[in-house]
Amino acid sequence: MTRIQDIIKKSNVAVITGGASGIGLAAAKHFARAGMSVAIADLGGDRLAAAADELKAISGEEHVLAVETDVAQKDSLEALERTVIQRLGRVHVLMNNAGIGPETSIFSAQANWDSLLGVNLLGVINGVRTFGQHMLSHGEPGLIINTGSKQGITTPPGNPAYNVSKAGVKVFTEALEHELRNTEGSKISAHLLIPGFVFTGLTKGDRAEKPAAAWTSEQTVDFMIESLERGDFYILCPDNDVARDLDERRMAWAMGDIIENRPPLSRWHKDYSDKFKTYLEQKE
């Protein structure tokens, strides 16, 4: 198995979408400190420029590239790839991390559905389909990391378009890893990052200070790197409020809806919510 240290190292190149803030910027800083050349892609020129300045302070201007990119548009990602290869060289780490979270309901405005699915799901698919073939063909070890969500697994009520997008990322990344490991000569592996509660621009709302329950982006990236070193595909992150065993039990209950023929989302169903609470209290 390829060691992560053989990929995240000096002279190699990392590309991170959604790289101007949050988990994406924390990952970009980690890669830069490891000696990698880093390209961040995002929308919002001033924010992107400020993030690039932070990275340049770590690794120098010649090793940093910041490109405004709309991940929902494949031609925008194709332009990003051409620029990265021309300026920095072939890519070894691709982190499809761009994400948005406008509120939706089943019958809410089409625009929010379109933008959310375009960024969160198509952005990942477009990123892999744009960069992945060249990553395979250069023959060097590499990583593709796609940012999912626990909401794509337990699918709680409240924002169906977000849940659909992240469930799609899970399914797509599983299929990607299957294909990569069955491609002759492939030295590329795929991984699904499943953050816990992380204090980022997407989650903070009106809060100015990090809630005690939340992890920082840096903690999340540290956990991601530790998981990659173990060779984990599912990078299931805890936080300060939810430990892994609780996540596992919530996910097992969600799968039980199918196996036991319960109503969907039975955790939140009036006839099953008390049973779910009792289930959580049971000891193994």
Same domain, 250 and 202: no
- Asked if residue 275 and residue 184 are part of one domain, the reply reads no
For residue 265, give the DSSP letter. T
Q: Count structural domains, the chain.
A: 2
**Which among 29, 150, 162, 272 is annotated as catalytic?**
162
For residues 163 and 273, membership in a common domain is answered with: no
The verdict on 25 and 155 lying in the same domain is yes
pLDDT given at position 21: 96
Determine which helix (DSSP H) or strand (DSSP E) holds 19, and give its type and residue range.
none
Q: Are residues 89 and 175 in the same domain?
A: yes
- pLDDT 10s digits, 248-263: 999 999 999 999 999 9
188-205 per-position pLDDT tens digit: 999 999 999 998 766 656
pLDDT in tens, the chain (284 residues): 578 999 999 999 999 999 999 999 999 999 999 999 999 999 998 999 999 999 999 999 999 999 999 999 999 999 999 999 999 999 999 999 999 999 999 999 999 999 999 999 999 999 999 999 999 999 999 999 999 999 999 999 999 999 999 999 999 999 999 999 999 999 999 999 999 999 876 665 666 787 888 999 999 999 999 999 999 999 999 999 999 999 999 999 999 999 999 999 999 999 999 999 999 998 65
264 and 220, same domain (yes or no): no
Clarify whether residues 128 and 264 are in a common domain: no
Burial of 184 (0-12, 13-18, 19+ CB in 10 A): exposed
* Residues 242, 131: Cα–Cα separation, whole Å: 34
Q: Are residues 222 and 125 in the same domain?
A: yes
Contact 129, 143 (CB under 8 A): no
The pLDDT of residue 204 is 57
Q: Are residues 227 and 268 in the same domain?
A: no
Q: Are residues 155 and 84 in the same domain?
A: yes
166 is catalytic: yes
Q: Domain range spanning residue 258?
A: 243-284
Enter the pTM of the model: 0.95
Question: Are the C-beta atoms of 253 and 240 separated by less than 8 Å?
Answer: no
Cβ contact 23:97 at 8 Å: yes
Both 151 and 283 in one domain: the answer is no
For the chain, what's the residue count? Answer: 284
Q: Which of 9, 56, 150, 166 is catalytic?
A: 166
* Same-domain pairing of 179 and 279: no
Domain final position from 227, 242, 257: 242
The pair of structure tokens assigned to 158 is 């409240």
Nearest to 30 by CA among 145, 166, 119: 145
What is the CATH classification number for the domain harbouring 10? 3.40.50.720
Closest CA to 93 of 65, 135, 40: 135
